[in-house]
């Protein structure tokens, strides 16, 4: 068999975006998927395309990636349900309103449009929110998308450009060779691990599973107009030991509502947990009391692939492995949908040695080895 230029393990939204990026420059691309393409973390997540400012590096990557989504939104199929809904970060009190003003300045300095909403403006934009909230921050450029269909678009584009897809599990991936569960052996100069939480191909990969629950309701057109997130969402996301919930809701093109979010640690069971679900719905109902009267159609769980510093691993696996053929596009936690096109572009920049639109250094996997290296220097 003729060698591939690149083999990508994982056909979720990140792996599929990488495959298309590589196929666009004429590389011979092989994509390996042991399950259903886009059937893992991609299918389990909310379809946020958002700018997040947890850190300067997160802000840079999410803003860059969102710009790529916006640029190509016209190419997406109708099934991707891409809609520019905007996000409102909801402030419950005056203390959180102070944070709203501070975040608005951060966004403005980064060139991201964001507008402070008064309590009256918030109520006008989202009448089903409870009264008494202090206001919010509207980020009008944020969007929603249906992740499996968006991932399917990327993979279909890669295949149209000549990529081959192998529906078999990768049993090993090293030194430019991937052995599949059906006995086939593939070779390439580069291997990209875009594996979500499945880290067995590189045990040193510093990724932790974080379980989450999602709820989708029946169709209620007009009940919700924007993505809504409580301002203390990031505080919840920062907890690394305690289970937590936060108000996070998204309107779907179908009129359904997608409700999150929860985070659990040291829990790798896929079952829905009644207590976490109750806490999540109670928290959401504190912000939107009318949610208690809506019908739930489905509840499911999934796992986020998280790193210690909340940033993804994008680039050569150097520092985590001595295998020069290995590259990584993993560890996106809850931002894999948003960051898929940006991560694909940064990874390709690294492989080609070309300058990136943003500084790629904060996402290089080797950064996580720096403390250990300094300690032994």
Antiparallel, parallel or unpaired: β 185-193 and 326-330: parallel
Look up the pTM and report it. 0.93
Phi, psi of 285 (to 5 degrees): -70, -25
Antiparallel, parallel or unpaired: β 177-180 and 185-193: antiparallel
The per-residue pLDDT string of the chain (377 residues; one tens digit each, 9 = 90 and over) reads 679 999 999 999 999 999 999 999 999 999 999 999 999 999 998 999 999 999 999 999 999 999 999 999 999 999 999 999 999 999 999 999 999 999 999 999 999 999 999 999 999 999 999 999 999 999 999 999 999 999 999 999 999 999 999 999 999 999 999 999 999 999 999 999 999 888 789 988 888 889 999 999 999 999 999 999 999 865 544 444 578 899 999 999 999 999 988 988 877 888 999 999 999 999 999 999 999 999 999 999 999 999 989 999 999 999 899 999 999 999 999 899 999 999 999 999 999 999 999 999 999 999 987 544 333 33
- 4 to 66, 99, 152, 174, 184: CA distances (angstroms): 30, 50, 22, 14, 14
- 94 to 97, 231, 269: CA distances (angstroms): 5, 12, 39
């Amino acid at each position: 068999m003729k060698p591939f230029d690149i083999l990508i393990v994982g056909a979720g939204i990140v792996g599929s975006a990488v495959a298309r990026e590589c196929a666009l420059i004429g590389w011979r691309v092989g994509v390996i998927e042991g399950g259903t393409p886009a059937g893992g973390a991609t299918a389990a997540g909310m379809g946020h395309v958002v700018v997040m400012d947890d850190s300067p590096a997160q802000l840079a990557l999410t803003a860059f990636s969102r710009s790529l989504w916006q640029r190509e939104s016209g190419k997406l199929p109708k099934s991707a349900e891409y809609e520019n809904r905007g996000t409102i970060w909801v402030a419950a009190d005056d203390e959180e309103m102070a944070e709203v003003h501070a975040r608005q300045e951060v966004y403005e300095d980064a060139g991201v449009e964001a507008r402070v909403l008064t309590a009256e403006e918030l109520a006008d934009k989202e009448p089903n929110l409870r009264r008494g909230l202090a206001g919010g921050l509207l980020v009008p450029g944020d969007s929603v998308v249906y992740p499996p269909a968006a991932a399917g678009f990327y993979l279909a584009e890669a295949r149209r450009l000549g990529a081959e897809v192998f529906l078999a599990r990768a049993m090993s991936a090293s030194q430019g060779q991937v052995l599949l569960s059906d006995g086939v052996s593939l070779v390439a100069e580069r291997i990209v691990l875009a594996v979500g939480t499945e880290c067995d191909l590189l045990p040193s990969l510093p990724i932790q599973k974080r379980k989450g629950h999602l709820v989708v309701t029946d169709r209620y057109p007009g009940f919700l107009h924007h993505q809504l997130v409580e301002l203390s969402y990031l505080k919840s996301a920062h907890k690394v030991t305690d289970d937590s919930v936060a108000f996070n809701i998204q309107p779907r093109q179908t009129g359904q509502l997608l409700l999150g979010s929860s985070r659990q640690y040291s829990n790798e069971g896929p079952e829905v947990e009644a207590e976490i679900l109750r806490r999540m719905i109670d928290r959401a109902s504190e912000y939107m009391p009318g949610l208690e009267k809506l019908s739930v159609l489905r509840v499911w769980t999934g796992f986020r692939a998280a790193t210690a510093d909340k940033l993804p691993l994008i680039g050569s696996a150097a520092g985590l492995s001595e295998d020069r053929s290995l590259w990584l596009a993993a560890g996106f936690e809850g931002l894999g949908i948003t960051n898929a096109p940006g991560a694909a572009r940064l990874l390709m920049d690294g492989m080609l040695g070309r300058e990136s639109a943003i500084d790629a250094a904060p996402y290089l996997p080797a950064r996580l080895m720096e403390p250990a290296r300094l300690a032994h220097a």
